[in-house]
Amino acid sequence: SISFHIWLLILNIPHLPSSPVEYSTEISESASIGSFVGMVTAYSLSSVVYEIKDGNIGDVFAINPNSGVIVSQKALDFETLPVYTLTVQGTNMAGLSTNATVLIHLRDENDNIPIFMQSEYTGLISESASVNSVVLTDKNVPLVIRATDADKESNAFV
């Protein structure tokens, strides 16, 4: 699916409430480096310079100072951090600035291989056992093979 996010900041209204506007978007954690995340646009009579002021943990995102386009500049990983809260500032030629909060939710992909709890399992079953018989361990309990998966929800089914 293609998503395209353009957010509008309004810079030229002096009495605009100072509480920052908030925008949110989602990007797959497997998105390639340089992927488009969103675009912040400030409406101003003079040109605007954009900057990420806060929340860019690990410098994962970059903003083009002139266009306001936000791209990823590093590999993303949901298991490291699922949500980024960026403070984006736009400043016009008159020195007026305003902030927007951009929430970037990473979408979990099934990118972690399951890991078996043991490297080897031994089970015993009689060659004369009927179909659907349970395989037993040497302690005479049913053999259960377990694996764990670091992904979330349905991506963690093993």
Ligand X SMILES: *[C@@H]1O[C@H](CO)[C@@H](O)[C@H](O)[C@H]1NC(C)=O
Residues that bind ligand X (CB under 6 A): 18, 53-54, 87, 89, 97-99
Angle at 105 between CA 116 and CA 63, to 5 degrees: 125
Closer residue to ligand X in complex, CB, 86/108: 86
Cα separation, 114 vs 88, whole angstroms: 38
Q: C-beta of 152: minimal distance to ligand X in Å?
A: 30
> Is there a contact between 38 and 101 (Cβ–Cβ < 8 Å)?
no
Q: C-beta of 148: minimal distance to ligand X in Å?
A: 39
Q: C-beta of 42: minimal distance to ligand X in Å?
A: 12
Cα separation, 34 vs 156, whole angstroms: 28
- How far lies 152's CA from each of 42, 53, 78, 143, 147, in Å? 37, 31, 9, 26, 14
Closer residue to ligand X in complex, CB, 53/74: 53
Q: C-beta of 9: minimal distance to ligand X in Å?
A: 11
